[in-house]
Amino acid sequence: MDCQYPKKPKHKQVLVIIPAYNEEHSLPGVIASILEYPGIDVLVVNDGSKDRTSSVARKAGASVIDLPFNLGIGGAVQTGYLYASKYDYDVAVQVDADGQHNPGDLFKVIGPVLEGEADMVVGSRFVEFTGYKAPMARKIGIIIFSKVVSLINRQVVKDTTSGYRAVSKRVIRYFADNYPTDYPEVEALVLLKKLGFTIREVPVTMSQREHGKSSITALRSVYYMIKVLLAVFMNLIRVHNKEALK
């Protein structure tokens, strides 16, 4: 897909959701580079940060929701979807606060959703070679998730853990009420596919983290692996209420 600066459809409202926990260093840069694009609203969900995340984000020009305590990534992101649903946005995009998602790819990710070609678009590191290098352990985890999700969804999904994703209004509405907690990215893919939403992956470039460490430490990765796989399989044997999608 061509990724020139796109025509922003006049009547479509786009919300960028940035979940942030103690990201005062990288956040201003991320917000500034997204606000370069006109007509996009930026919402930072401050997930009970202990630093100046909230004030820094306000100063940079974002709207900020301060959660009263730390909910974790799932709860924080869902707050964004709840907000997007209440304010009737057409497209919502998740972008990480740590600066590893390139705002230059924003319209690559939003594009297919704006055009109505997909309900969810995932910005992927692995669709084509984009220069991303991952540590070995993470690589294995990423491959396992990819195989499992691809098998279940009967559609190849390479980068299941990418948090760079755009969704349509129907998905916003659904996520406002149903969003996985803890490590939600992988589970969300299986959930949406099962509900009949269309998913597409587009290649993006990701940089190494600017500040801080990934939330996935060595010890947690085992829990991560088991929790996500359990959640994915539970979704398979769960009856989902498709009425909610109307």
> 71, 167, 186, 189: which one contacts other proteins (CB under 8 A)?
71
> 51, 66, 90, 210: which one contacts other proteins (CB under 8 A)?
66
Sequence-distant (≥ 6) Cβ neighbours of residue 198 within 8 angstroms = 117, 118, 119, 120
Structure tokens at 59: 């100063």
> 16, 34, 60, 78: which one contacts other proteins (CB under 8 A)?
78
The answer to whether residues 208 and 125 touch, using CB atoms and an 8 Å cutoff, is no
By CB under 8 A, which span of 79-87, 159-167, 188-196, 207-215 interacts with other proteins?
79-87
DSSP string, 26-88: THHHHHHHHHTSTTEEEEEEE-S-SSSHHHHHHHTT-EEEE-SS--HHHHHHHHHHHHHHHTT
> 20, 34, 60, 64: which one contacts other proteins (CB under 8 A)?
64
> 2, 4, 5, 69: which one contacts other proteins (CB under 8 A)?
69
- Site membership for other proteins, residue 181 (CB under 8 A): yes
- Site membership for other proteins, residue 130 (CB under 8 A): no
Strands 199-203 vs 40-46: parallel, antiparallel or unpaired: unpaired
- Site membership for other proteins, residue 50 (CB under 8 A): no
Beta carbon of residue 132, minimum distance to other proteins (angstroms, whole number): 32
Kindly state the DSSP code that residue 159 receives in the 8-state scheme: -
Q: Which is nearer to other proteins, 83 or 126 (CB)?
A: 83
- Site membership for other proteins, residue 46 (CB under 8 A): yes
Q: Which is nearer to other proteins, 51 or 210 (CB)?
A: 51
Please give the residues from 191 up to 220 whose contact with other proteins meets the rule CB under 8 A: none
> 1, 39, 86, 209: which one contacts other proteins (CB under 8 A)?
86
CA distance 33 to 38: 11
Nearest to 44 by CA among 88, 96, 6: 96
CA distance 246 to 236: 21
> 2, 38, 68, 218: which one contacts other proteins (CB under 8 A)?
68
> E-assigned strands of the chain?
14-20, 40-46, 63-66, 91-94, 120-124, 165-168, 199-203
By CB under 8 A, which span of 3-11, 61-69, 108-116, 152-160 interacts with other proteins?
61-69
List of residues contacting other proteins (CB under 8 A): 45-46, 54, 63-69, 71, 75, 78-79, 82-83, 86, 181
